[in-house]
Amino acid sequence: VEPDAAWAAQVRELAARRGAVLLAHNYQLPAIQDVADHVGDSLALSRIAAESDAGTIVFCGVHFMAETAKILSPAKTVLIPDERAGCSLADSIDAAQLRAWKAENPGSVVVSYVNTTAEVKALTDICCTSSNAVEVIESISPDTPVLFLPDQFLGAHVQRRTGRTNIQVWAGECHVHAGINGDELAAQVRSHPGAELYVHPECGCATSALYLAGEGIVPDEKVRILSTGGMLTAARASSARQVLVATEVGMLHQLRKAAPEIDFQAVNDKASCRYMKMITPAALLRCLVEGRDEVHVDEATAAAARGAVERMIAIGT
Residues that bind ligand 13P (CB under 6 A): 26, 41-43, 115, 129-131, 174, 202, 227-228
Q: Is 275 in the site for ligand SF4 (CB under 6 A)?
A: yes
Binding partner of 231, given ligand 13P, ligand SF4, none, CB within 5-8 angstroms per partner class? none
Binding partner of 88, given ligand 13P, ligand SF4, none, CB within 5-8 angstroms per partner class? ligand SF4
Binding partner of 26, given ligand 13P, ligand SF4, none, CB within 5-8 angstroms per partner class? ligand 13P
- Output the smallest distance, CB 90 to ligand SF4, in A: 6
Site string for ligand SF4, 235-274 (x = CB under 6 A): -------------x------------------------x-
Burial class (CB in 10 A: 0-12, 13-18, 19+), 150: buried
Nearest to 92 by CA among 192, 3, 173, 36: 173
Nearer to ligand SF4, 62 or 284 (CB): 62
In three-state secondary structure terms, 208 is helix
* Residues in 99-158 that interact with ligand SF4 by CB under 6 A: 115
Nearer to ligand 13P, 184 or 202 (CB): 202
| Long-range contacts (CB closer than 8 Å, 24 or more residues apart) made by 254-260 | 254/26, 254/33, 254/39, 254/228, 255/231, 258/232, 259/235
Options 22, 31, 174, 262; binder of ligand SF4; rule CB under 6 A? 174
Residue 113: φ, ψ to 5°: -60, 150
Nearer to ligand 13P, 24 or 108 (CB): 24
Nearest to 65 by CA among 75, 79, 51: 79
Asked if 205 and 199 touch (Cβ cutoff 8 Å), the reply is: yes
